[in-house]
Amino acid sequence: QVQLQESGPGLVKPSETLSLTCGVSGSSTSSGHYWGWIRQPPGKGLEWIASVSHFGTNYYNPSLKSRVTLSIDTSNNQFSLNLNSVTAADTAVYFCARLLRLGSLDLYFDYWGHGTLVTVSS
Amino acid sequence: EVVLTQSPATLSLSPGERATLSCRASQSVGPYLAWFQQKPGQAPRLLIYQASTRATGIPARFSGSGSGTDFTLTITSLEPEDFAVYYCQSRNNWPPEFTFGPGTKVEIK
């Protein structure tokens, strides 16, 4: 049973850095899967943030690229997101997810964490 | 960048009725399209990938079709647990940048 669990602060001050970690069980971050982060502002739709491959190659949403850092820790079977210079617009539920890889370009978010609400406020 | 539009925004139906949801891409995405179901307070659940392949454990009343720019999710007979928001999702060819549609809410009439 694949399970993902987000962890990190629920409240971040404006201009500071949002840091989240996704712990993975039932699947290995050193396998051929990709891993990603998606967010959802309250009452709104889904926005992909970034993804990382098992060998550490990162892919970013162009609108967030300048503020995002991703890393993968295969020894602890987890991956992390840093989003700097946050504003109220970054308030959202943040989901981590596994990407099922069926081919080099054939990737689908098949397992998701429950999500964690991060509020940006002073 | 691929832009996805979904219609209708809201679909009001009764249990037992057929639901037909549409997703249109701004450029061809081939067969690389997925559908997700999301209920309040929950993470999205993968229903369909590669436009028409049901994910593990998804009931047969859910089916997907289409290729290129026009896609459809059909729920043949709505069960009470099917009332939710449905998102389509695709990506650019390279690098893999992922896009979600704005969603269709299927509500009880």
In tens digits, what is the pLDDT along chain A, a chain of 122 residues?
999 999 999 999 999 999 999 999 999 888 888 999 999 999 999 999 999 987 778 999 999 999 999 999 889 999 999 999 999 999 999 999 999 988 877 899 999 999 999 999 99
Q: How does pLDDT run across B85-107, given as a tens digit for each residue?
A: 999 999 987 888 999 999 999 99
The answer to whether B34 contacts A100, with C-beta atoms less than 8 Å apart, is: no
**What does the angle CA A53 – CA A61 – CA A107 come to, to the nearest 5 degrees?**
45
Q: Pick B60 or A28 by higher pLDDT.
A: B60
Task: Give contacts of B 54-83 with A, CB under 8 A.
Answer: 55
Q: Is pLDDT of B78 > 80?
A: yes
Nearest to B99 among A48, A59, A109 (CB): A48
Residue of A nearest to B96 (CA): A59
pLDDT value at position B94?
81
Q: What is the mean pLDDT of residues B28-51?
A: 96
**Chain A residues closer than 8 Å to B91 by CB:** 105, 107
Cα(A12)–Cα(A21) distance, integer angstroms: 15
pLDDT value at position A105?
74
Which residue, A16, A18, A8, is CA-closest to A78? A8
Assess contact for A111 and A95: CB atoms under 8 A. Answer: no
The answer to whether B55 contacts A107, with C-beta atoms less than 8 Å apart, is: no
Q: Mutate which of A46, A47, A58, A95 to test chain B, going by most B C-beta atoms within 10 A?
A: A46
